[in-house]
């Protein structure tokens, strides 16, 4: 089948085909399908070139999103495993809770990876966005519920954070890694106009905050025996996390993505 238009950018190419309902683009050697506008219009000249550039640009943005989510999943699996292992060895509920948070963050990253890959295969972006937003919202609610339950349990049992070098090292690294990941996702969310990705970036930010809370709790307990600082700070964050979860379930668009 001979394409109605063709363009190449950044080593990739796009073949455009005209149909009654509009047009669609077959991108790259692997044949990923990208739908165009559904208006009944002919493609020619400058209009076709602009549309091709928009499609290819979005494909490149989606590819960046895949890389970010793979990195998020990989780091959280490592972080969660180390935190749970070191926390269990040291008897630290705070570290174990932080590890569970990392696994929840992994689930959120998996949801976004599915959403991005599905759009790259040509599925409708709006339908994917609604489903992904709700699933990420569920991850937020699970995170809020776990943090609240873990913090209350810590306060009731007077569980003091134990000193563990490995656990503290993971928290320190997370404080630097997670904000960078969150910022990268937030920028990409604006480019893609994706509230689901923006919510995922917020959850990544919460992971960084929890890293600081756990690290601060360990430090305050070691210096001043303030064992309650960690669970109190975590409880303060719970309403914020819960609110973000409800926004995701209701399918609300984030203001920063408009």
Q: What is the pLDDT of residue 136?
A: 83
Q: Which segment of 19-33, 81-95, 104-118 scores lowest on mean pLDDT?
A: 19-33
**End-to-end Cα, the chain, rounded Å:** 38
172-224 pLDDT, tens digit per residue, is 999 999 999 999 999 999 988 888 888 889 889 988 888 888 888 878 877 88
Q: Is the pLDDT of residue 115 over 80?
A: yes
Please say whether the beta carbons of 4 and 15 come within 8 A. Answer: no
Residues of the chain with CATH 1.20.1510.10: 59-257
Q: Is the pLDDT of residue 4 over 50?
A: no
Please tell me the class of the 59-257 domain: mainly alpha
Q: Name every residue whose Cβ is closer than 8 Å to that of residue 124 and which is 6 or more positions away in sequence.
A: 35
Q: What is the pLDDT of residue 53?
A: 57
Q: Which residues pair with 27 in a beta bridge?
A: 14, 32
| DSSP-derived 3-state class of residue 177 | helix
Sheet holding 22-27, edge to edge: 5-9, 12-19, 22-27, 32-35
Q: What is the pLDDT of residue 257?
A: 47
Give CA–CA dist 106/13, Å, rounded.
33
The pTM assigned to this predicted structure is: 0.69
- Helices within 225-250 (DSSP H only): 229-249
**Residue whose tokens read 């489903």:** 131
Which strand (E) or helix (H) includes residue 2?
Answer: none
């Amino acid at each position: 089948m001979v394409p109605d238009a063709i363009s190449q950018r950044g080593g990739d190419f796009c073949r455009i085909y005209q149909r009654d309902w509009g047009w669609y683009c077959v991108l790259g050697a692997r044949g990923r399908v990208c739908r165009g506008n559904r208006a009944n219009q002919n493609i020619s000249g400058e209009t076709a070139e602009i549309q091709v550039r928009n499609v290819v640009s979005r494909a490149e943005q989606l590819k960046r999103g895949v890389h970010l989510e793979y990195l998020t999943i990989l780091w959280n699996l490592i972080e969660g495993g180390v935190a749970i292992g070191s926390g269990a060895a040291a008897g630290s509920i705070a570290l174990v809770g932080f590890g569970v948070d990392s696994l929840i963050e992994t689930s959120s990253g998996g949801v976004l990876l599915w959403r991005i890959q599905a759009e790259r295969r040509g599925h409708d972006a709006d339908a994917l966005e609604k489903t992904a937003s709700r699933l990420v919202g569920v991850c937020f609610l699970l995170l809020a519920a776990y943090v609240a339950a873990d913090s209350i349990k810590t306060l009731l049992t007077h569980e003091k954070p134990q000193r563990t070098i490995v656990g503290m090292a993971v928290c320190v690294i997370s404080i630097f890694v997670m904000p960078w990941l969150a910022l990268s996702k937030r920028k990409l969310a604006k480019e893609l106009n994706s509230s689901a990705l923006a919510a995922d970036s917020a959850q990544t930010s919460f992971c960084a905050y929890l890293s600081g809370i756990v690290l601060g709790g360990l430090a305050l307990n070691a210096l001043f025996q303030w064992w309650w600082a960690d669970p109190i700070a975590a409880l303060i964050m719970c309403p914020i996390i819960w609110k973000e979860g409800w926004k995701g379930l209701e399918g609300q668009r984030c203001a920063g993505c408009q």
